[in-house]
Each structure stands twice: as structure tokens, then as C-alpha cells.
Amino acid sequence: MKKRSILTSLLAVTLGSVLVANAADAQEEGGGDLIIADMSDLVSLDPHGNNDVPSSNVRANIYDTLTILDENMEVQPHLAVEWEETDENTYSFTLRDDVVFHDGTEFNAEVVRANLLRVTDENFASQRAFLYEMITDIEVVDDYTVEITTEYPFAPLLSHLAHDAGGMLSLDVITEDYNQALEGTDYDYESYVEALVAGEEFDEDVVAAIGENIGEYAAQNPIGTGPFVLESRSPGDNTVLVRNDDYFDEPALLDSVTFKVVSETASRIAELEGGYSHVIGAVDPISRDRVENHDETYLDETESMSLSYVGFNVEAEYLDDPLVRQAISYAIDREAIIAGIYDGVGIEAIGPLAPAVFGYDENVEGITYDMDRAKELMAEAGYEDGFEISLWTNDNPQRVDTAVFMQESLAELNIDVSIEQVEWGAYLERTADGEHDMFILGWSVVTGDADYGMYPLFHSEQVGAPGNRSFIQNDELDELLEAGRQAIDPDERLEHYSAAQDLLVDLAPMVYIHHSNYLTGVRDEVQGFEINALGIYQLKDVSISAE
């Protein structure tokens, strides 16, 4: 990989770019204004709402979590300075006593309780509730001690608390969010929470009020404790964060970070080369050499724990037959996709888990390319003459190319595939509603644990927005996934996840394509930039050199 160099004159290179000139001027005063161009806009700034990477990349700078994962995916203290496992179902957390939110309010145990109650509120129906649904009690012991009890021993709890969904939102925002949602009902926030904790059933009007309105105020008022504060947001265009000078840790070096939406890959690369953006996400593999060999940029390539896949709606016509799903899986040459579309970046996936994820079983014999076997299965299913079916994708170039590859490959099975390209926000919403036949998407195992890599994708209770867009519902699979998340002994957990991976070969709810690397373009004047294995930009210690 080319070594990064320092630009002699950033202003000369950018040919008068006002944005970068301002960044250089600011850096001379000890700051800098970082501009990041990404393919897709964020969906929401509410940490307890949706589950997409563009949103997480922004929210990771606004909100803090009780724990964090280091570069080795090991759990480390953050807002919680220490913890003790008082019994196999209970953790006691000691919190920092020097943290304030962006609105000046205090972070304490009551705040932790309010956040965890919110994300697990069944009426809220958060896409991320599965991360904490095993929590049965959150007790405020004192101002800076909170005790969390789970229904069963849950080994990945500390990792789950490091997830973006564990981002701590201001209690004032949570209160107002609920009060606005509950307007016109007989409840306010305090009475609602009291009834929620007591296990009372709510009238339909209250359930509807929460389901339809919760999150609107929080998304517009993202008040966390993180190193950056929201300054402005223009949906579909940009989101601007500024440094939080009152951050409990060392403040960020940058003055601001702008997340700019630039959907076309060529335009993002031009932004990078011209100095209009300092960092660009989702560099397509074909352009990697261009970024790497440019005099003023370098390519950051980070191994991921992600999966790219083609999902089936197992409730759709034809795809409700596992033989058909297996046939389509056998008909896809993953190595050809990796070589031709991803320019050799990444490794073939034999199942949902990347090798670095806990629970991965190298002995599972997944479905690999075998067109003859695919034709046999189509005949066995009674579909030798094929059928018509649709395949959805968003505007990611590699996904579009994969869709075309799929279209050509499945023609050999007499399957006529129509490709539909859908805008990102609508794509997530419509696949969650089950309007699709087949779709192309990805999943990043952000906890490094098989529970996150499998439970939301395949458990019957996670159908739709939480992750199970295949709509697979299988009792045996559910039992294995539940046993895997409830067992304490690591070897026992591995046994359950191995069995689940074997079963998924027969169920074939998706075509596992590959485990890729994150390719990110960075200007040479950017110092300290990293992207972690979860695909999240690490920006707190980034600076921009003006030399």
C-alpha cells in the first residue's frame, strides 16, 4: 500500500476549493473541517430506531455507549467504568460521574434505565430491540450504579451494549419524545413508563400513538454525550457535526465533520481527487488503483465482518419451495462475482458468518456453484420450464452489477429475472414489508458474535425491519438460535451455531455471496483516520494537516 504523504500546499491542489481552503485555515488554528462523501444518506439520528450503516456512521459521533469494542473486538469501559457479574443473569455497572449531555443535562443511572426501557418498549417496536429483549429489569442502585438483569444468561450482553443501539440519548429528549407521541391519550411519559414496567396492557389508541409517533422528536433532537454535536441537517444533501468542547474525554481535534451525500462513485472519486471531500466511502473495487495511485490520496482497505447476500422472500411464489431456493443458490458463481465485480476484494461466503466472527464453522459444507445440480433441483421442483421473478437492488454499483450477473446466470434455469432499482430509504422499507421476491443487501456483524450475525437475520420473531427480510420462519432454527444466545459455555454455543449453519444449507433463505473489505478513499492531508471492522468511521482523533 502506498505510504501517505503530506501535501506541500493544500490550497494549490484544491484549485480554489472554498470548502477545503476553510478546512486548512481552521487547521492552522488547531482544528479543521472534515468533509466525507458517502453514497447514501442516513435514515435517522434516533439511536434506538433503524439499523443502517450510514446512520450509524453519523450517530457514532453523537452518542456514547456503556461499553466499546477495541480493535481486537474486545469489550472495554466507556460510559461504564467497570462492571461486576453478580450472578449469571445480572450485571452491576458503575458509571462515570463526569459526563453531561449536549443540552447540559447529567448522565446518570436514571438515564441508562430510560434508554434501555425505550429501546425495548414493545409498543415502540424498535428494529434493534432484539439486542436487549432479554433484559427483564433495570434497577437504579444509586446515581452512578445501575443493575441489569436478563431473563437468561446472555453471553454477548457486554458486546451488545457497545452497539450503536446502546447510544445514550438525553432523558429530556426521551421524555419530550414520549410526551409528544402520547398527546391526546391519558398518559404522559412518567405514567406510561410506570405502567410499562408494571406490565400493564395498553389500549389500542396508546399502542397506535407510540407506534406511529415515537422517535419523531428524538430524530430531530439528537442529544447525546459524544465528541460531536449536530449543527445542521439537510436530508438528502448533508449532515454537519461540530466539536463538543465539553466532552468528558479529550475533545475531538476537528472543528467539524460534514457527511455529504454523493451517490455516484465517479463523482465521489472526483470529489476526493479535487479536494472537495477529504474522505469518500464505498470506493468500488475497479477504482481502487485509481485512488491508491493518485498523488494526493490513498486507499484504506479494512477487513470486515460483513456479508453480502441475495435474499429470498420465502413467502413469495416459487421461492416458497426450498428446492427452488437451493437451485438458485447453486446457479450462482460467487468466485466469478468476486473476481469480475469486486475485483478480487473479499472471500467467498459459505454461510452467514465471516471467519473472524465467533460461531463460524469452517466445516459447514455450504452451497457452491454447480449449474448441473441447479438444473436437477429445478426439475425435481417441477419448474424445468422456469418462471418470471423480480430482483431488487439499490443504486450501489456492485449490487447493480450483481443483479445483472444473477439475471444472466438464472436464464440458464429458464428463470426470467426483472431487475428493479429502488431508492435506499424506500428499499429498506419495502423489503421490510415483504413486497419483494429477491433482493440484494448486506449485513455487518457489529458485535463480532454469531448471535448478531444470525438471530436478527433468521429468527422468526425478527421478520421484517429488524433483519429477517427473507421471512424465514422455522421452529428448529429458532430453537438453535435461542439456545446459542442463552448458553454460557462457549463450546456449547459453538455447537448450536454449527447446527444452525448446517440447517441453513437446506433452508437456503439467501445466496451468501462474499465477505468483503471496506474500501475508503482518503486525502493525504488527513491524519489519524481509521475505519473499524464494523464499517464505522473513527473520527475523534482525526486531524487535517495544513502543511
pLDDT in tens, 487-522: 989 999 999 999 999 999 999 999 999 998 889 999
Question: To the nearest whole percent, how much of the chain has pLDDT over 90?
Answer: 84
pLDDT of residue 51: 77
pLDDT of residue 447: 86
Q: Which domains does the chain have, with CATH numbers?
A: 10-47+226-302+518-544 (3.40.190.10), 64-220 (3.90.76.10), 306-515 (3.10.105.10)
pLDDT band (50, 70, 90) for residue 122? very high
pLDDT band (50, 70, 90) for residue 113? very high
pLDDT band (50, 70, 90) for residue 319? very high
**Half-sphere exposure at residue 391, Cβ-oriented, CA atoms within 13 angstroms:** 26
394 contacts: CB under 8 Å, gap ≥ 6: 40, 421, 422, 423, 424, 427, 440
pLDDT of residue 546: 74
pLDDT of residue 547: 59
| Cβ(463)–Cβ(492) below 8 Å | no
The arithmetic mean of pLDDT across residues 197-223, rounded, is: 95
Nearest to 522 by CA among 346, 288, 252, 263: 288
Nearest to 421 by CA among 413, 412, 430: 430
Q: What pairing do the DSSP bridges indicate for beta strands 517-523 and 67-69?
A: unpaired
pLDDT of residue 12: 30
378 contacts: CB under 8 Å, gap ≥ 6: 323, 324, 327, 384, 386, 413, 414
The arithmetic mean of pLDDT across residues 229-234, rounded, is: 97
pLDDT band (50, 70, 90) for residue 313? very high
pLDDT of residue 242: 98
pLDDT beyond 50 at 27: no
pLDDT of residue 22: 43
The whole-angstrom separation of Cα 175 and Cα 189 is 6
pLDDT in tens, 409-419: 999 999 999 99
pLDDT band (50, 70, 90) for residue 393? very high
The whole-angstrom separation of Cα 135 and Cα 119 is 11
Q: State the pTM of this model.
A: 0.83
